[in-house]
Structure 1
């Protein structure tokens, strides 16, 4: 939304391709209209999805960020991207809706021609988001957090349309749809539904972390033919009692780790994660009272998985990792780590470097 002089506008009209007005239905059912593909984007979330769909020059089209969910939630990922693209660190930070620091005034000052928000960010802003409408700045709401095939595909296609990269978006949507269909077909051949326990391995073994039912990893386990021991015990997320976990005797356990700051006992997974340290931290969980008697521990069916791996275009690889743990015969020829690395090689501007999924020794 830069202001051009009349001669500059005349020159632009002679040299630039003519774009028809773009109309998009976003993930809140809103009709969003752009005069041309967005060139100056205020990016609230879905950073890697934006880069994957937009392709070459994507970083140059960002004028501001909600930095906290990237730099604070995924600090190692942020370090790798800012090493490759130092300009990211210099972009204005508009704050974060989760910490109630999001500033509409700062966002407007970045002078974007499009604001991209996650559904949860848009919902958190409430009526405040109308200030963008008043300023004549379109807001596109995406929702990979919905964790449905339809929402993933719709978000990808909407983003491609907004950025003028529809062919690239369609290729990504097709890849995601094909991988999802292949995963579902493999699950259909499975003959067992092992009991599964997932724990957010953030606080260390001395304190029980959240598990999930219905959404997040819980919803994934349901779709992949596992029996989630959290179902019926919690709503969305929360801890289970140690006694309940022992009584349920899970056959497969997933410890969800990440790049958290100031969490000295957490299982460190993600970018630049040390696999030896991750194994050491996972071993501490397995040493909990009573865990040595659990079928998952006795049979060596304990796994680490990157907590940032779901609710994104590359999450199909993590789902296939879980599927392989639950149904090893059906996924015998699948290498989820290789599939994830290939996704980065094909679609993202950095090389995958770290530990994202692992089998506890």
Structure 2
């Protein structure tokens, strides 16, 4: 870094200089040192990233101060870098509130997370652009829906994205929720490249593709009509019976695993509500309750630090309290509980393996989703998922 000729400093090692000059030199050096983490090196090559909207986003170098518009995506960062807390400049509060057990687990691994500034809640209307800009981010990560974009809209139609871009702060758009099967790999690739961990991203992508392709191959000859009805009871117990995925989200996962999501037959949005009569008339062969563990007293006890027996007992309690005991899936024992955050994360590969085993046990008896999760913990996650993330109503070998 160069200075104008009239801004000379005295080297700190030089003796005999004037005290004022030595002080000025010391202050200059200190300011440069403090500013260093926020300034890309002069010789750093710029990075071009293609996000899920097809936008080419240019960064001057690997992002070192990232704002997550939705804090749930911290666990995606955890897949891609061994120290996700080090690059986190700001986030929403939803990881602390909606995913409290897993936040506590992350906090034990990275205590600095307790001091990460909060720039909004889980909804876009609470997000403060001013607060985010005040953190001097070099990257903001958000989804299209968070940005206020509907299908087919361009990024420049989002006031949120425009405000960051006018401040010369790059924004990349990712998606693991609306179209998870199409957008997971591009999202991982974009985020990994943006933070300078492209190799780690490609390693996980290879792992992901290997497991997803194995599922597809086993179902390639599945006859028409062999897609049993599946009821995914979203946020079970936290709301009146019964929330369900519609199109996108869990629906794509159920279909990929060879099932038919009964919610998609009547819901045209990403999520919605099914009435008791419709659920019973649909006679689901597989029942799946979801939860985050944050409301274990009423909902499903699942996630970090949860014992399998505790999770199973909460699943039975939910079935009983929602009068679902007459469902074919419950009578046969083909009922299960899962961690809800599988639906907005590349970790859905674990859930899809589990779904395939539950829906088509004859084809997937040898597949062990728990082993897949153990591999991910060992090979990728900076904050391993330790607890119960999948549970069966009846214990299985």
Specify if TM > 0.5.
yes
Structure 2: where are the runs of 5+ without partners?
A: 4-27, 150-156
- The residue number in structure 2 matching 1:188 is 220
Looking at structure 1, the residues matched to 205 and 388 of structure 2 have their Cα atoms a distance apart, in angstroms, of: 26
In the TM superposition, what whole-angstrom CA distance separates every residue of 1:160-185 from its partner, at most 9, and x where no partner exists? Answer: 21112211111111211221111111
The reply on whether 1:217 has 2:217 as its aligned counterpart is no
Alpha-carbon distance, 1:351 to partner? 3.0
- The residue number in structure 1 matching 2:7 is none
SS in structure 1 at match of 2:159: helix
User: Superposed, which structure 2 residues align to 1:291-302 within 5 Å?
Assistant: 291-302=324-335
Larger Rg: 2
- The residue number in structure 2 matching 1:52 is 79
SS in structure 2 at match of 1:253: strand
* 2:342 aligned residue (299, 309, 312): 309
In the TM superposition, what whole-angstrom CA distance separates every residue of 1:147-170 from its partner, at most 9, and x where no partner exists? Answer: 333311111111121112211111
* 2:54 aligned residue (24, 29, 34): 29
SS in structure 2 at match of 1:119: coil
In the comparison of the two structures, how many residue pairs are matched? 351
Structure-2-length-normalised TM-score: 0.81
Looking at structure 1, the residues matched to 354 and 55 of structure 2 have their Cα atoms a distance apart, in angstroms, of: 35
Alpha-carbon distance, 1:210 to partner? 0.4
Tell whether the 8 Å contact from 2:254 to 2:260 is kept in structure 1 after alignment. yes
- The residue number in structure 1 matching 2:199 is 167
Alpha-carbon distance, 1:316 to partner? 0.3
- The residue number in structure 2 matching 1:72 is 97
Tell whether the 8 Å contact from 2:181 to 2:252 is kept in structure 1 after alignment. no
Alpha-carbon distance, 1:317 to partner? 0.7
Looking at structure 2, the residues matched to 309 and 168 of structure 1 have their Cα atoms a distance apart, in angstroms, of: 20
User: Superposed, which structure 2 residues align to 1:1-361 within 5 Å?
Assistant: 6=3, 18-45=43-70, 46-53=73-80, 55-66=81-92, 68-96=93-121, 98=123, 100-123=125-148, 126-190=158-222, 192-203=226-237, 207-236=240-269, 237-261=271-295, 264-287=297-320, 291-361=324-394
When the two chains are superposed, the root-mean-square deviation of aligned CA atoms in Å is 2.6
Gap change, CA 1:217 and 1:150, over 3 Å in 2: closer
SS in structure 1 at match of 2:200: helix
Structure 1: where are the runs of 5+ without partners?
A: none
Tell whether the 8 Å contact from 1:304 to 1:358 is kept in structure 2 after alignment. yes
Name whichever of 133-142 and 223-232 sits farther off.
223-232
Gap change, CA 1:133 and 1:287, over 3 Å in 2: closer
Tell whether the 8 Å contact from 2:242 to 2:276 is kept in structure 1 after alignment. no
In the TM superposition, what whole-angstrom CA distance separates every residue of 1:216-271 from its partner, at most 9, and x where no partner exists? Answer: 2222212221122223222232222212222222211111122234x632111111
Gap change, CA 1:90 and 1:157, over 3 Å in 2: same
Looking at structure 2, the residues matched to 62 and 223 of structure 1 have their Cα atoms a distance apart, in angstroms, of: 34
Alpha-carbon distance, 1:201 to partner? 4.3
SS in structure 2 at match of 1:122: coil
Looking at structure 2, the residues matched to 128 and 222 of structure 1 have their Cα atoms a distance apart, in angstroms, of: 33
SS in structure 1 at match of 2:306: coil
Tell whether the 8 Å contact from 1:116 to 1:142 is kept in structure 2 after alignment. yes
Tell whether the 8 Å contact from 2:235 to 2:340 is kept in structure 1 after alignment. no
Alpha-carbon distance, 1:57 to partner? 3.3
Structure-1-length-normalised TM-score: 0.88
Looking at structure 1, the residues matched to 173 and 260 of structure 2 have their Cα atoms a distance apart, in angstroms, of: 33
Looking at structure 1, the residues matched to 320 and 119 of structure 2 have their Cα atoms a distance apart, in angstroms, of: 43
Looking at structure 1, the residues matched to 232 and 103 of structure 2 have their Cα atoms a distance apart, in angstroms, of: 26
SS in structure 2 at match of 1:310: helix
SS in structure 2 at match of 1:121: coil
Gap change, CA 1:101 and 1:213, over 3 Å in 2: closer
